[in-house]
Chains A and B, each alone.
Chain A
């Protein structure tokens, strides 16, 4: 069963001169097992939107449901629904606080009041998944690690909750190219191997192009585009309105097309782009350019 937002409106600081509507009648359904990217520039409402997905914010109007259960409410049911959605905030390493890596990752499972062995199992498996060796790192202070490692510890802390849905807000922000590459690979694997439903928020079109099966563009608290990548990245007017640029591969291939190379522009990784160009060059051999 999916996550559903039905006609969600959210207003910050209602009733003060600083009142601001961050979301305006947004409806969105996230299907089980999908990998959705939400893009938009700062202030477009994308971060507000994802905070509705695990009940951190409750709609001013409209409702948010997980597996058909409302996230708003004090009942056991509502609590369980909220817990199905794991949330990795922007710069998640800023929320680390325990003395050791293992203790920090165990914070979530402990709050769920799980038995000791289960907590240990989850800590091990989460560390395993973000490729931090359990024996090497369990007793290390998280504050002694590099930026990329700290981020992986923070993500492991959310994975240890074993959510069915995982929301990531700008997971690669501030990382260097190598750390970014590694993290994206891990996320793709979470989706592929663990069958986790993933929603990831980013303004990095390259990351989105590589990862997403479905793309949502937000602007001014509304959804502008909600389509597969092959359509979304070619919705030029909407992308301009949202202040987003086409992914580098699409921009490059479109440029080649404009120069007269008969190439399809819907490639979202460098590999695909190379294949498309090679194919186009084959075709071109027969004709004159």
Chain B
């Protein structure tokens, strides 16, 4: 069901991760994502996987939710693994029809999948522990210096806020529309690809119409509450970089240094 999607969901809590400044979390996420690509050795992967698991446990969010966040990518992961398993030249350990599976492919496929999974896990760590609003707030502050080169930081952040706010509403609405069209005999699950795309029309048209109506009403409501763009706007919640953030940054720096040393030593 549609309501089973967990990517982008926020789980309120009070862990150290929850208390961190969104800007610090965003920057550290970028650093860790880069680290996934830089430290592409077994030792590096082991360290990063360890970190991801430790953070997931400390976040207080049920671990099953992290596994669930990987579920939509299941096919991509399996596909990546199989491609590399069969397309990497090297020592063949199994042969079937025209496919040669190699030991090198096995290792490479495994690490590539791990890399993808880590990317998702680190992102989930961010979204699960950061309210959408403070996330967009963090993004706005980080992008603000880019305003001089024409990046509309406030507008982007406002769009994100509204998009996030309406995700649950629109999921619910899609669900209702699907049920209603099913009640009128629509069938979304059989037929070839073309037929299935055609079956989407009775869902997409009502959804678009209602989204436009919502957008229109929301714009009126925002105007009625004196919205006039980012100029002169203040915020109730000012962001504060605190001890937790410095500690996290320090810990990350130490970890990266250690991993750098390990990589230099050949692990």
Contacts and interface: CB of A to CB of B under 8 A. Distances in A.
Question: When A and B assemble into the complex, do they touch directly, with CB atoms less than 8 Å apart?
Answer: yes
Interface of A: 12-13, 15-17, 51, 54, 56, 83, 86-87, 89-90, 92, 94-97, 107-108, 111-112, 143, 157-158, 161
B201 A97 contact: yes
B174 to A, nearest CB: 11
A161 B185 contact: yes
Most central of B3, B185, B201 by chain A CB within 10 Å: B185
Contacts of A157: 184
Nearest to A18: B3
B184 A107 contact: yes
Nearest to A111: B185
B186 interface: yes
A107 B202 CA distance: 9
Nearest to A95: B180
Interface stretch (B33-41, B203-211, B227-235, B258-266): B203-211
Given A94-B177, A97-B202, A161-B185, 12 more contacts: A16-B68, A17-B65, A56-B183, A87-B180, A94-B206, A94-B210, A95-B177, A97-B201, A97-B205, A97-B209, A111-B184, A111-B187
Main SS at interface, chain B: helix
Nearest to A89: B180
B182 interface: yes
Nearest to B6: A16
A193 to B, nearest CB: 23
A50 to B, nearest CB: 11
Contacts of B65: 16-17
A54 B183 CA distance: 8
B205 A89 contact: no
Contact of A92 (B180, B186, B210): B180
A143 B184 CA distance: 19
B183 A89 contact: yes
Contacts of A86: 183
B126 to A, nearest CB: 19
B86 to A, nearest CB: 35
Interface in B103-156: none
A111 B199 CA distance: 11
Nearest to A56: B179
Q: Which 6 A-B pairs have the closest CB atoms?
A: A111-B185, A97-B205, A108-B184, A87-B183, A95-B180, A89-B180
Nearest to A109: B185
A59 to B, nearest CB: 15
Contacts of A161: 184-185
25 contacts: A13-B3, A16-B4, A16-B65, A16-B68, A17-B62, A56-B183, A87-B183, A89-B176, A89-B180, A94-B177, A94-B206, A95-B181, A95-B202, A95-B206, A107-B184, A107-B185, A108-B185, A111-B185, A111-B187, A112-B185, A143-B209, A157-B184, A158-B183, A158-B184, A161-B185
A51 B181 CA distance: 13
A257 B228 CA distance: 58
B46 to A, nearest CB: 30
B195 to A, nearest CB: 13
A56 B188 CA distance: 13
A33 B183 CA distance: 21
Given A17-B62, A95-B206, A97-B201, A51 B184 contact: no
Given A97-B206, A143-B209, A111 B186 contact: yes
A157 B201 CA distance: 16
B84 to A, nearest CB: 33
A86 B183 CA distance: 7
Contacts of A112: 185
A54 B3 CA distance: 21
A95 B183 CA distance: 11
A241 B43 CA distance: 62
